[in-house]
Structure 1
Amino acid sequence: MENPLLLFSQANISASKDKPYYKAMKSAVKEEPHKASKPGVKQKRNRLSLLLQKPEFHESDHLGKPGNLTKAASSVSPEEAVKWGESFGKLLSEKAGLDAFTKFLKTEFSEENIEFWMACEDYKKSESADELLPKAKTIFKTFIQKDAPKEVNLDFHTKEVTSQSIGRPLRSTFDAAQSTVYRLMEQDSYPRFLASALYRSLLQGRAPARAALRRRSRSFTLSDLQGSRPAFPAR
């Protein structure tokens, strides 16, 4: 009998790479099997993780294909990289900066934070109210609900407030959650990015070397961090 995990992966290998970001997330969530007993939860999440690592899931207007990360970062001038050190908002406001920061988060296994932030940015660009509900449900199932495949670290109050508005979402539905994740990245991941070998190589005008992957604890919440800056970069 063929391995069901292989069948699961192969069934999606030819998926269109032109799908909008939230549609790719929706497809991933829909293919998740119904929850069974607790011992099967870990296996289920591992299977979804394999799907969500596929290139088409990570595409967006900001990020582009993962294979382009090194290419985009290597074309950055030292002068441009210096500007990224001025503020977190400046880093995320430029595509090359967003690409480089995403590449760094992948080395720490915390790319779900920037993916959630980008999904929220896309959500707020919805052109009609009819687009909000399916997008909101997909973002919630992918990043916020308990045991979500890309669950981000939110405090209980923020998670509850967000979940209560999913049934009748507004463009501001994810503002509190997005702000929380933004500040977590700004105060936790951003300083480490500035101290990383990847960023130092860009300052020196060299193509970034492949960074070693490392797993870190994500048990903290925003309440553990002090002196936060404004939640979003100036437009």
Structure 2
Amino acid sequence: MKMENPLLLFPQLNISASKDKAYYKKSVIKEEPHKASKAGAKQKRNRLSLLLQKPEFHEGDPLGKAGSLTKAASSVSPEEAVKWGESFDKLLSEKAGLDAFTKFLKTEFSEENIEFWIACEDYKKSKSAHELLPKAKTIFETFIQKDAPKEVNLDFHTKEATMRSMAQPGRGTFEAAQSTVYRLMEQDSYPRFLSSAAYLRLLQRTAPARAALRRRSRSFTASDFKGARPEPALW
């Protein structure tokens, strides 16, 4: 008896084609949302970049402008660098210090913290109430909301309070979040900045002057007591 083709008797056995089709469909389904999310994140970054370039976003706030940080860290005097080590607030209050700290955070891939702090400083200086809403929305979408392109590390309660405040943004909308990020930088990133090679190089510029001063002091002490006889040792 001639055996017929089993695929003709049992067409359900022909599963190779169906598997291929199913696999193809799955791969398409998984890939499209991934592309969409990447495109969405890129679009948000582009919106933020365009907004930061607008003069009204930084109106009255020199810290908000990247171009205002014209004083390079290499031109900082040792005396200025020493002041940066006195407190974190003094570091951020000077343009050169803010610039140097921002560059340091970029080496640690955590520059979103200082960018958020700068954006909050600019936000609080808004001159009119109608400026608050678009700025608040941009800050929230860029730094606060889940999967934001530059999401900062906030605890649950602070994030929830900020989200509730977004219903009617005011100048204190981001105050709690800004304070949290400030403390994080002060306790974590700031000590590492003071120990970094770039900062230590600024301080080392004072070493030759101090060495010369010590040499002069020793010379003066030796000449001042030249010819003096030592007192007899007391036993």
Q: Give the TM-score normalised by the residue count of structure 1.
A: 0.64
Deviation (angstroms), 1:72: 1.6
Task: Flag the structure with more relative contact order, 1 or 2, with Cα contacts below 8 A and sequence separation at least 6.
Answer: 1
Distance 1:56 1:202, change over 3 A: farther
Q: Which has the larger radius of gyration?
A: 2
- The DSSP-based 3-state class of the residue aligned with 2:72 is helix
- Residue 62 of structure 1 aligns with an amino acid whose one-letter code is L
- 1:23 alignment counterpart: none
- Residue 123 of structure 1 aligns with an amino acid whose one-letter code is Y
- The DSSP-based 3-state class of the residue aligned with 2:62 is coil
- 1:90 alignment counterpart: 90
1:159 and 1:84 map into 2 onto residues whose CA distance is 31
Distance 1:45 1:91, change over 3 A: same
- Residue 194 of structure 2 aligns with an amino acid whose one-letter code is L
Deviation (angstroms), 1:47: 7.0
Moved over 4 A (4+): 46-57, 66-69
- Residue 142 of structure 2 aligns with an amino acid whose one-letter code is T
Deviation (angstroms), 1:61: 1.9
1:45 and 1:138 map into 2 onto residues whose CA distance is 13
Deviation (angstroms), 1:168: 0.6
Amino-acid identity (%): 70
Counterpart mapping for 1:154-173 below 5 A:
154-173=154-173
8 Å contact from structure 1 (residues 63, 99) kept in 2: no
- The DSSP-based 3-state class of the residue aligned with 1:191 is helix
- 2:41 alignment counterpart: 45
- 1:188 alignment counterpart: 188
Q: How many residues align?
A: 170
- 1:61 alignment counterpart: 62
RMSD: 2.9
1:137 and 1:147 map into 2 onto residues whose CA distance is 15
1:203 and 1:183 map into 2 onto residues whose CA distance is 25
Deviation (angstroms), 1:105: 0.5
- Residue 87 of structure 1 aligns with an amino acid whose one-letter code is S
- 1:216 alignment counterpart: none
Distance 1:105 1:66, change over 3 A: farther
8 Å contact from structure 2 (residues 85, 91) kept in 1: yes
Counterpart mapping for 1:90-129 below 5 A:
90-129=90-129
Stretches of structure 1 that go unaligned for 5 or more consecutive residues are 1-35, 207-235
- 2:12 alignment counterpart: none
- Residue 184 of structure 2 aligns with an amino acid whose one-letter code is L
Deviation (angstroms), 1:147: 1.1
Deviation (angstroms), 1:50: 7.8
